[in-house]
Amino acid sequence: MPDSPSRRGRPVDPAAAAERRRRLCDAAVAVALRDGIAGLTTRAVAEEAGLTAAMVGYEFDSKDGLLLAVLEHIHAGVRDALAHAPLAGARDPATVLEALAGAYWAHVLDTPALQRAQYELTLHALALPGGEAIARAQYRGYVLAVANALEHAAPLPSERLHEVAGTCVALMDGLILQWLATGDTAACARRLALGVRALQHTLHTHEEHLPDDLTP
């Protein structure tokens, strides 16, 4: 790994360093979407960013670092999509869940290459020695994004909140893969609606059995 600028006697410009890292992260995402995770190499990222391979090596000391940069981009897209869900002040968990699922699905339909990349990332990580930590972080991020969005709009008991969020991610995960494989948008949308209704029923059933002081 090359020495940092400060070690060579030149002061580090924080703004320039941040901009370089942003360019490299953007380049890593662009390469992953164009060439797949298998094509995510130091050389490819350097060429995409218009920087040297040494700079890539300095910012990301292994391919794991590149994978994590792509993963953060994927997580940010999910968080942004959920943040723009049309909640309009809704507080009922079932209503909020439907709005969040719709926003998540719209994001999926707008980003097919990104959706393919996320599955490639999971499988690639699981094939690496110790890579299961990246795969766990990937799904932990999805569940946390949904849980946070649901919690802010319609609070639930913590255990229930993460159970619902995890189930929502599992539902979406399967539907995304079906959609990528079949291209049948209408069928997948119907299955999403069916899955959301099942979750809504579970939420209402749970609320009916809560003591008054625990009902969200």
CA atoms in the 13 A half-sphere facing the CB of 23: 15
- pLDDT category at 12 given cuts 50, 70, 90 is low
- Token pair recorded at residue 160: 């229930």
pLDDT in tens, 59-115: 988 889 999 999 999 999 999 999 988 877 777 778 888 999 999 999 999 999 999
Residues of each domain in the chain carrying CATH 1.10.10? 1-61
The phi, psi pair for 139, rounded to 5°, reads -75, -30
* CATH 1.20.58 given to domain 1-61: no
The phi, psi pair for 93, rounded to 5°, reads -55, -40
**CB distance 161 to 151 below 8 Å:** yes
Separation of alpha carbons 110 and 169, rounded Å? 18
Over 80: is that where the pLDDT of 119 sits? yes
Task: Lowest mean pLDDT of 6-10, 163-167, 186-190, name the range.
Answer: 6-10
**In the block, residue with structure tokens 């159970």:** 163
By residue count, the chain amounts to 216
Separation of alpha carbons 215 and 202, rounded Å? 14
- pLDDT category at 205 given cuts 50, 70, 90 is low
Over 60: is that where the pLDDT of 138 sits? yes
Angle between helices 63-83 and 93-110 (to 10 degrees): 130
* 3-state SS string for the chain: CCCCHHHHCCCCCHHHHHHHHHHHHHHHHHHHHHHCHHHCCHHHHHHHHCCCHHHHHHHCCCHHHHHHHHHHHHHHHHHHHHHCCCCCCCCCHHHHHHHHHHHHHHHHHHCHHHHHHHHHHHHHHHHCCCCHHHHHHHHHHHHHHHHHHHHHHCCCCHHHHHHHHHHHHHHHHHHHHHHHHHCCHHHHHHHHHHHHHHHHHHHHHHHHCCCHHHCC
Mean per-residue pLDDT over the chain, rounded? 86
CATH class of 62-214: mainly alpha
Residues of each domain in the chain carrying CATH 1.10.357? 62-214
**CB distance 99 to 148 below 8 Å:** no
